[in-house]
Amino acid sequence: MTTTLTVFVADYPYAAAVAVQLKANLIFDQSILQTTLEIQGKGYTGAEDELVSALDTTYRDSSVESSIQIATMGNATTNFIGSFAVVQAELLTTANQTSLAAFTSAKAEKARSGSKTASSFALGLQGAAKGQVVTRFPPEPSGYLHIGHAKAAMLNQYFAKMYDCKLITRFDHTNPSKEKTEFEETILEGLHLLGIQGDVVAHTSDYFDKLYELAVHMIRNGKAYADDTDNTTPANLDCACPSKQHGNLTRMAHERWHGIASQRRDSTVEENLARFEKMRSGTSEGLRWCIRAKISLDNPPVVYRTNAIPHHRTSDEWKIYPTYNFACPAVDSIEGVTHALRTNEYRDRNTQYARMLSALDLRPVNIWDFSRLNFVHTLLSKRKLHGLVDQGLVHGWDDPRPTVRGIRRRGLTVDALRQFMLSQGPF
């Protein structure tokens, strides 16, 4: 069977990339008026997705010839018999910068089709189907949007468009000590500048009642307990460790080092619920406690902790707040998120994420890791950027180099930033 795709140089890069991968005849021709596809004498025209679908059907149903033709100027034709890398290099040279991102998407299109040929280099989400994916971008409103956030936001948008799916922008504001309405507004402004528009803007605080019920559910099922183990004062506790292996540890550090369960871990359900209620009331006794999940002995994650500072959305309604390790997986599942994109600094917590959902009897969520973005001679830590702003070392949040506002103030266009992010890849 002969399959030939004739494209107008940089036009239809998705289809061009798929054609190359399927070893079809591919011709770049500046003289044509419309990109055409010919399979066994039958012609196809139309939207790029239609041509990609036809190519995919051809690949699944029958073998195609291995010859590849690329005409880069008019009727001048060059034949390539080398490796796919040679043809790919020609594609990247011919296509313009905008087509580069689209070329990457073409690889993912083949990943979605299930082709083993393409899966070795394709970028896609595990178990994803078009129209059945929900992603989310969950910034904490504790600072201005910076270039690190931009990568996460752009990747979420990338997959939302690829799978024709829903993108949730959710503010993960569970620590009133650091969060402000000002930061929430500027994050939305920064996303707008980047051309990123979520289908829904949500807040973790919208689910505070539900999260409280889930915490009670964990306690009643014996999967969480109230803990007040001291972590401030050295306890001078005996152990059999070699001399100088560790210093004089606090009781909590001692228990974690030696894998010893907290003395509070086996408290009764009634005792734990009573302590949780004192936490919710914000009493002096309640401030001593936190709620931990019974997931591990060396590092049992905190589920709820107290904070008497008014929340910027719920005011003083609550004195207890869920932690990120608890709220994030719970709300992801509740909101219908199918794939949670997280930087690989959280990879060690992926098992904890899954176990938390299991303990809550909630629907599991797929996790997709991507690399954290770092730069030399600049900062991406919001804590450190806060220090620069608070100490007056910079004029404001539009002054630091890595913030989206700072980047624009220095003349870098949003399109250039977008192209830079897409060219980095996810890993």
**Cβ-based neighbours of 259, under 8 Å, separated by 6 or more:** 297, 298
317 is catalytic: no
| Best CA proximity match to 287, nearest among 305, 262, 269, 271 | 305
- For residue 16 the two structure tokens come to 């061009």
Catalytic residue among 382, 401, 405, 418: 382
How crowded is the C-beta side of 309, counted as CA atoms within 13 Å?
A: 10
How crowded is the C-beta side of 19, counted as CA atoms within 13 Å?
A: 30
| Best CA proximity match to 427, nearest among 350, 374, 372, 366 | 372
* CA–CA separation, 329 and 162 (whole Å): 24
| Best CA proximity match to 142, nearest among 198, 182, 87 | 182
SS3 252: helix
Backbone angles phi, psi at 305, to 5 degrees: -140, 165
Q: For the chain, report the end-to-end CA distance as a whole number of angstroms.
A: 38
SS3 354: helix
| Best CA proximity match to 150, nearest among 366, 338, 427, 419 | 419
* CA–CA separation, 285 and 275 (whole Å): 8
* CA–CA separation, 265 and 271 (whole Å): 11
* CA–CA separation, 129 and 131 (whole Å): 6
372 is catalytic: yes
Burial class (CB in 10 A: 0-12, 13-18, 19+), 320: buried
In terms of DSSP bridges, do strands 69-73 and 42-44 run parallel, antiparallel, or are they unpaired? unpaired
384 is catalytic: no
Catalytic residue among 140, 179, 184, 255: 140
Burial class (CB in 10 A: 0-12, 13-18, 19+), 104: buried
Catalytic residue among 305, 372, 408, 409: 372
**Residues designated as active site:** 140, 372, 382
